[in-house]
Amino acid sequence: MPSIFAYQSSEIDWCESNFQYSQVVAEFYNTFSNVTFLLLGPLMMYLMHPYAQKRSRSIYGISALFMLVGLFSMYFHSTLSFLGQLLDELAILWLLGCCYSIWMPRCYFPAFLGGSRLQFSCLVFITTVVSTFLSFLRPTVNAYALNSIALHILYIVVQEYKKSTNKELRHLVQVSVVLWVLALASWLSDRLLCGFWQRIHFFYLHSIWHVLISFTFPYGMVILSLVDASYEMPGETFKIRYWPRDTWPVGLPYVEVQCDTKKC
Ligand SMILES: CCCCCCCC/C=C\CCCCCCCC(=O)N[C@@H](CO)[C@H](O)/C=C/CCCCCCCCCCCCC
Ligand SMILES: [Ca+2]
Ligand SMILES: [Zn+2]
């Protein structure tokens, strides 16, 4: 039995050919496409700084975990080791767990928790610990299980979309759903239709997934921050802005705290 550190000790191998450009990096494009995680994490920390000061500094922790996901994913694709696979998947699991604890609106908590965020966070923590142990049992199904959590997030986002009359928020939801659908289609296609993609020498679908899902994250973060603020800080006004310019056709969303002259 190979060591968990050994190259290609994971049962999962993505469609990109191995060791094509380097003897050290197994999947070149799949490894370096994770650079978007390392760029977007610090940028979101910077852009969301005013919001974090006003509402919750946990945004910094979430962004740091997001960068860790990118680093572990780089390690996984460069080695295709079992350890790399587990680190990558467990970092995603804990990132999602933290996002749930912080941003899940109270109206979606199970009724027996009586709306307590502390109790909800404990429930999420226990579920995440149990899932961490379960992930060792059938490692090949972990990624499918993680992807299916996205369906629950989508359900929450769609419910909030239906309730909202804020045009900018609705636009953000539409863009994020499109990004996520394209990302998931790339991920599934790389997994399930590899024979076809290899025949036409197109091995980049998993790299495209990395880029698209990493851009879904700032969108998800801004949507959930605004939904959270609308429930928890109804007196405050927050505005969606885009970096580098609001007027550019594409940009990275962030939340600006609007202060009226009395408070600032
Ligand atoms: C109320 C809760 C709100 C939670 C919001 C969370 C938003 C998180 C967004 C992005 C997370 C990024 C995770 C990317 C992982 C990239 C690493 C990777 O590629 N790993 C693969 C192997 O290299 C592995 O096979 C991937 C496994 C699947 C990961 C599934 C991630 C689910 C992302 C959920 C996004 C939902 C967005 C819905 C928007 C409408
Ligand atoms: Ca491969
Ligand atoms: Zn990957």
CA atoms within 13 A on the CB side of 112: 1
pLDDT tens for each residue of 99-138: 999 999 999 999 999 999 999 999 999 999 999 999 999 9
Contact 228, 51 (CB under 8 A): no
Cis peptide before 253 (omega within 30 of 0): no
Bridge partners for 252 per DSSP:
243
Distance from C-alpha of 222 to C-alpha of 12, rounded to nearest angstrom:
33
Ligand 1, pocket residues at CB < 6 Å: 69, 73, 76, 88, 92, 96, 99-100, 103-104, 143, 146-147, 149-150, 153-154, 156-157, 176-177, 180, 210, 213, 216-217, 220, 224
> Using an 8 Å Cβ cutoff, are 168 and 240 in contact?
yes
* 66 closest CA partner among 220, 191, 207: 220
Q: Which residues are annotated as a binding site?
A: 13-14, 16, 18, 27, 77, 206, 210
Strand partners, 258: 237
pLDDT at 262: 55
Q: Are 184 and 150 in contact (CB under 8 A)?
A: yes
Q: Which fold has domain 28-258?
A: Rhopdopsin 7-helix transmembrane proteins (1.20.1070)
Residue 162: how many other CB atoms lie within 10 Å = 9
Nearest C-alpha to atom 35 of ligand 1 is from which residue?
150
**pLDDT: is 194 or 261 the higher one?**
194
Task: Supply φ then ψ for residue 223, to 5 degrees.
Answer: -60, -50
How far apart, in whole angstroms, are the C-alpha atoms of residue 243 and residue 247?
A: 9
Closest residue to atom 18 of ligand 1, CA basis = 73
The ipTM is 0.93
Query: Distance between CA 124 and CA 128 in Å, rounded?
Result: 6
Residue 14 neighbours by CB under 8 Å, 6+ apart: 27, 30, 77, 190, 191, 206
Q: How far is CA 127 from the centre of its chain?
A: 18
Q: Does residue 7 surpass a pLDDT of 70? A: yes
Tell me what percent of the residues of the chain surpass a pLDDT of 70.
Answer: 98
> Which tokens is 153 given?
């997030």
Average model confidence (pLDDT) across the chain: 95
Q: How far is CA 190 from the centre of its chain?
A: 19
